[in-house]
């Protein structure tokens, strides 16, 4: 049996693959101890005994690293670097959030000055030894550790990606009781600031992640435990603690892994469907493009910090089902980014929340049906939702219905803006994509967002409310490896590049084999980070023979930015993705025997008489016309007027307008 688990800010989602069927479940998250919700869900799914017999494999998307980073709740960390570079993480890129503010508020530094330690060794930009690491440096490091008693040490030396011997020697000098992180292991690439932040984050979060995964592993022992990485592939839990920085987008990456798998299933003529995705959960909405392979970036951010390790390329906003509505000092209605979370949650959850949220607005508008919410396992307090919306409506002089509709419209506008960031602002026409929604709240907004974008196609996956958990089951085991070259393409040695690719491929393959992967199922993909000489940022392109690299980059630059330059092209980084072929469980198929009769018809304030359908009763090639509500255990889809739905072989809803 395979169990995918996605821990979100409001709910923890489960997808269990057993006997050719998928069983889904949700429980409220327990942010103070996330493993409690997971163990609760395992018990409620009835597989606790199987877990004790080792008959269950768990793949988990964790928010522990993300939350600890955003809330600054990592461990006491010592930062070790070259002499003269102690202020590196504090200075950063000297960019300002408020360009014309001459007195900006001071930002908290990543590492306190007294926890920054300098050593005398130094490499040149060519990897030549300028100054050696001596015994006095080692002795000083050990004495500072003894005095400061850090829980972790981050080691970031200049040009260590060219020669990592000094970093390894410093790491060996640290006590075994201290978590150590070196930049040549975490991110062997150029840009000392980004490499330093990644190394510090890995050390700062590592003990927290290790502790959490250890507690979870003990709770489900002797079951194998895998963890989703930010790049959309999984890693064994025993290795994940050493790569905490690679888990920062663990949950959202699961949803995109499932979307990429789904795109292959529903594509035409062997070509995967192009998807513009939005994952609307309780706390936030994540937006991304899926065009064949997952789109990755090494220019991600988490809060104020750059995260240069490979991660799924997405844009996140604080607009989810739990986003709170409020009236600002100017008397205008605003929605988010504050969220009611899991506790107390939206007012309609009946747990004491009294702030109006997007979920409450949907409940007041009748779009959430209390009898079907979470399959009837959780009641909705509609009276509490009405009271919360009334508290917003009264100061604005609006009716309850108008205020609820306004909250929905504002949330939609924020999500549309995010969708345009990932499409229009990147030179991609959203009309070429199907808008794919998932997350518990996505189906209620998909038609409205598609209308705003001008696209006439949408896809609502089966079990979309728990799609990130499903993604844990379909994602491959994976490693992302890289190395900086920073050389003009015209000066590159093809043999040297081939040797480097072979080295990285062997390293990744050996790591996967140690996790039990079979060599015949391992595949390797190579890509290059390219830029015009003198540019700061790169474009990642699939590997092509060296003689074609410049032409490939010119075309990609023109497509992305609308122009190309007569400037030499520089090869900055070589990237190698080593992965197993996905051992995804087959998705159940729906049958043709079903009814298209609605359960009943409800008179909705904005839509008038609206039939309500149960999704599990819709058979193959069932066709519906809006307006309609399509309810299922973990989400609800609002099919707007002038929109039509068709059910495919896997139960997915294909929406078309007109």
- pLDDT 10s digits, 230-279: 999 999 998 898 999 999 988 889 989 999 999 988 888 778 899 999 98
Fold of 477-580: Dna Ligase; domain 1 (3.30.1490)
Stretch (H or E) spanning 508:
helix 494-514
Lowest mean pLDDT among 46-60, 349-363, 368-382: 368-382
pLDDT for res 511: 92
For residues 101 and 80, give the distance between their C-alpha atoms in angstroms, rounded to a whole number. Answer: 33
pLDDT for res 215: 92
**Domain boundaries along the sequence of the chain:** 2-69+210-250, 72-208, 477-580, 600-657
Q: Nearest Cα to 12, choosing from 316, 281, 322, 372?
A: 281
Stretch (H or E) spanning 315:
strand 314-317
pLDDT for res 427: 82
- pLDDT 10s digits, 22-51: 898 988 888 888 899 999 999 999 999 988
Tokens describing residue 8: 């979100």
pLDDT for res 376: 64
For residues 364 and 356, give the distance between their C-alpha atoms in angstroms, rounded to a whole number. Answer: 10
pLDDT band at 494 (very low <50, low <70, confident <90, very high): very high
Q: Strands of 77-82's sheet, edge to edge?
A: 116-119, 77-82, 152-155, 179-182
Q: Nearest Cα to 637, choosing from 367, 434, 291?
A: 367
Tokens describing residue 427: 């030179």
pLDDT for res 440: 79
Residue 95 has pLDDT above 80, yes or no: no
Residue 596 has pLDDT above 80, yes or no: no
Stretch (H or E) spanning 579:
strand 569-580
Lowest mean pLDDT among 311-320, 393-402, 413-422, 608-617: 311-320
The pLDDT > 90 percentage for the chain reads 62
- pLDDT 10s digits, 607-634: 889 999 998 889 898 999 989 999 988 8
- pLDDT 10s digits, 575-591: 999 999 767 788 888 88
Q: Nearest Cα to 9, choosing from 225, 310, 251?
A: 251
For residues 607 and 510, give the distance between their C-alpha atoms in angstroms, rounded to a whole number. Answer: 58
Burial of 495 (0-12, 13-18, 19+ CB in 10 A): exposed
Q: Give the number of other Cβ atoms within 10 Å of residue 430's Cβ.
A: 21
pLDDT for res 10: 73
Contact, 481 vs 578, CB < 8 A? yes
Q: Nearest Cα to 646, choosing from 375, 348, 115, 626?
A: 626
- Beta bridge partner(s), residue 131: 122
* C-alpha 656, offset from chain centre: 28
What mean pLDDT is predicted for residues 97-107?
Answer: 81
For residues 283 and 325, give the distance between their C-alpha atoms in angstroms, rounded to a whole number. Answer: 13
Stretch (H or E) spanning 235:
strand 234-236
- pLDDT 10s digits, 507-545: 999 999 988 888 999 999 999 999 999 898 899 999 999
Residue 345 has pLDDT above 90, yes or no: no
Tokens describing residue 180: 């150590």
Fold match flag (2-69+210-250 vs 72-208): no
For residues 91 and 592, give the distance between their C-alpha atoms in angstroms, rounded to a whole number. Answer: 63
pLDDT band at 375 (very low <50, low <70, confident <90, very high): low
What mean pLDDT is predicted for residues 303-327?
Answer: 87
pLDDT for res 208: 92
For residue 319, what are the CA distances in angstroms to 323, 338, 364, 603?
Answer: 6, 8, 18, 28
**What's the mean pLDDT when you consider all of the chain?**
90
For residues 532 and 301, which has the higher predicted lDDT (pLDDT)?
532
What mean pLDDT is predicted for residues 56-80?
Answer: 88
Residue 218 has pLDDT above 80, yes or no: yes
Task: Tell me the torsion sign for CA atoms 426, 430, 432, 438.
Answer: positive
For residue 354, what are the CA distances in angstroms to 121, 325, 440?
Answer: 59, 11, 21
pLDDT band at 655 (very low <50, low <70, confident <90, very high): very high
Is 295 strand, coil or helix? coil
**Residue ranges of the alpha helices (H) in 365-493?**
382-396, 400-422, 446-453, 467-474
- Beta bridge partner(s), residue 143: none
Encode burial over 448-457: b for 16+ CB neighbours within 10 A, e otherwise. bbbbbbebbb
Stretch (H or E) spanning 375:
none
For residues 553 and 539, give the distance between their C-alpha atoms in angstroms, rounded to a whole number. Answer: 8
pLDDT for res 373: 74
pLDDT for res 594: 67
Burial of 140 (0-12, 13-18, 19+ CB in 10 A): middle
pLDDT for res 374: 66
pLDDT for res 439: 82
pLDDT for res 277: 93
Residue 562 has pLDDT above 70, yes or no: yes
Residue 649 has pLDDT above 80, yes or no: yes
Stretch (H or E) spanning 438:
strand 434-438
For residues 439 and 112, which has the higher predicted lDDT (pLDDT)?
112
Contact, 201 vs 308, CB < 8 A? no
The DSSP output letter for 183 is H
Q: Give the number of other Cβ atoms within 10 Å of residue 62's Cβ.
A: 26
Q: Nearest Cα to 223, choosing from 30, 62, 16?
A: 16
Fold of 72-208: Rossmann fold (3.40.50)
Superfamily of domain 2-69+210-250: ATPase, nucleotide binding domain (3.30.420.40)
For residues 151 and 161, give the distance between their C-alpha atoms in angstroms, rounded to a whole number. Answer: 25
pLDDT band at 342 (very low <50, low <70, confident <90, very high): low
pLDDT for res 507: 94
The beta strand positions in 33-178, using DSSP E, are 57-61, 77-82, 116-119, 122-123, 129-131, 152-155
pLDDT for res 377: 65
* pTM for the structure as a whole: 0.84
For residues 297 and 287, give the distance between their C-alpha atoms in angstroms, rounded to a whole number. Answer: 14
For residues 607 and 605, give the distance between their C-alpha atoms in angstroms, rounded to a whole number. Answer: 6
Altogether, the residues listed in the chain come to a count of 658
For residues 39 and 71, which has the higher predicted lDDT (pLDDT)?
39
For residues 394 and 610, give the distance between their C-alpha atoms in angstroms, rounded to a whole number. Answer: 28
For residues 71 and 4, which has the higher predicted lDDT (pLDDT)?
4
Q: For every residue of 23-71, which 3-state class applies, written as one string?
A: EEEEEECCCCCHHHHHHHHHHHCCCHHHHHCCCCEEEEECCHHHHHHHC
pLDDT for res 162: 92
For residues 475 and 234, give the distance between their C-alpha atoms in angstroms, rounded to a whole number. Answer: 7
pLDDT for res 646: 94
């Amino acid at each position: 049996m395979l169990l995918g688990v996605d821990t979100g800010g409001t709910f923890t989602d489960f997808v269990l693959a057993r006997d050719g069927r998928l069983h889904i479940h949700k429980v409220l998250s327990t942010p103070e101890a996330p493993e409690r919700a997971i163990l609760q869900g395992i018990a409620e799914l009835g597989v606790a005994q199987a877990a004790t017999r080792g008959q269950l494999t768990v793949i988990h998307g964790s928010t522990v690293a993300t939350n600890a980073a955003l809330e600054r709740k990592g461990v006491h960390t010592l930062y070790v670097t070259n002499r003269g570079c102690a202020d590196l993480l504090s200075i950063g890129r000297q960019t300002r959030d408020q360009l014309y503010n001459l007195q900006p508020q001071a930002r908290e530094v990543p590492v306190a000055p007294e926890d920054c330690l300098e050593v005398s060794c130094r490499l040149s930009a060519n990897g030549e030894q300028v100054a050696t690491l001596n015994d006095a440096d080692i002795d000083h490091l050990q004495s500072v550790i003894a005095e400061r008693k850090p829980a972790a040490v981050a080691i970031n030396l200049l040009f260590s990606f060219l020669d990592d011997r000094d970093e390894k020697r410093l790491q060996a000098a640290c006590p075994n009781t201290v978590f150590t992180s070196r930049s040549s292991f975490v991110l062997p690439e150029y840009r000392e600031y980004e490499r330093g932040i990644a190394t510090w984050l890995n050390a700062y979060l590592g003990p927290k992640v290790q502790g959490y995964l250890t507690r979870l592993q003990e709770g489900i022992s002797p079951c194998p435990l895998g963890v989703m990485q930010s790049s959309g592939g999984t890693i064994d839990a025993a290795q994940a603690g050493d790569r905490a920085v690679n888990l920062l987008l663990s949950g959202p990456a699961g949803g995109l892994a499932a979307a990429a798998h789904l795109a292959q299933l529903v594509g035409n003529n062997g070509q995967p469907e192009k998807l513009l995705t939005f994952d609307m959960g309780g706390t936030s909405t994540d937006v991304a493009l899926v065009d064949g392979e997952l789109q990755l970036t090494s220019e991600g951010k988490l809060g104020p910090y750059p995260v240069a390790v490979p991660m799924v390329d997405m844009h996140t906003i604080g607009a989810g089902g739990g986003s709170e509505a409020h009236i600002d000092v100017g008397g205008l209605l605003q929605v988010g980014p504050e969220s009611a979370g899991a506790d107390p949650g939206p007012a309609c959850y009946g747990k004491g929340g009294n702030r109006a949220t997007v979920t409450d607005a949907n409940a007041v508008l009748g779009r959430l049906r209390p009898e079907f919410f979470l399959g009837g396992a959780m009641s909705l307090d509609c009276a509490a939702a009405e009271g919360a919306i009334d508290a917003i409506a009264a100061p604005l002089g609006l009716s309850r219905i108008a205020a609820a509709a306004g909250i929905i419209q504002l949330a939609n506008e924020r999500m549309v803006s995010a969708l345009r960031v990932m499409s229009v602002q990147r030179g991609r026409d959203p009309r070429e994509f199907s808008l794919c929604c998932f997350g518990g709240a996505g189906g209620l907004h998909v038609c409205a967002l598609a209308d705003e974008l001008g696209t006439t196609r949408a896809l609502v996956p089966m079990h979309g409310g728990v799609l990130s958990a499903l993604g844990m089951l379909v994602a491959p085991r994976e490693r992302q490896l890289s190395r900086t070259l920073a050389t003009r393409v015209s000066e590159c040695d093809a043999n040297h590049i081939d040797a480097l690719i072979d080295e990285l491929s062997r390293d990744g393959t050996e790591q996967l084999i140690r996790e039990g992967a079979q060599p015949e199922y391992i595949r390797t993909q190579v890509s290059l980070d390219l830029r015009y000489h003198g540019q700061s940022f790169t474009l990642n392109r699939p590997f092509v023979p060296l003689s074609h690299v410049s032409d490939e980059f010119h075309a990609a630059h023109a497509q992305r930015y609308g122009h190309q330059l007569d400037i030499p092209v520089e090869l900055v980084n070589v990237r190698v993705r080593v992965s197993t072929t996905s051992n995804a469980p087959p998705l159940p198929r729906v049958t043709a025997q079903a009814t298209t009769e609605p359960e009943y018809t409800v008179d909705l304030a904005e839509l008038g008489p609206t039939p309500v359908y149960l999704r599990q009763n819709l058979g193959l090639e069932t066709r519906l016309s809006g307006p309609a509500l399509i309810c299922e255990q973990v989400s609800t889809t609002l099919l707007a007027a002038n929109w039509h739905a068709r059910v495919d072989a896997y139960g997915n809803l294909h929406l078309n307008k007109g």
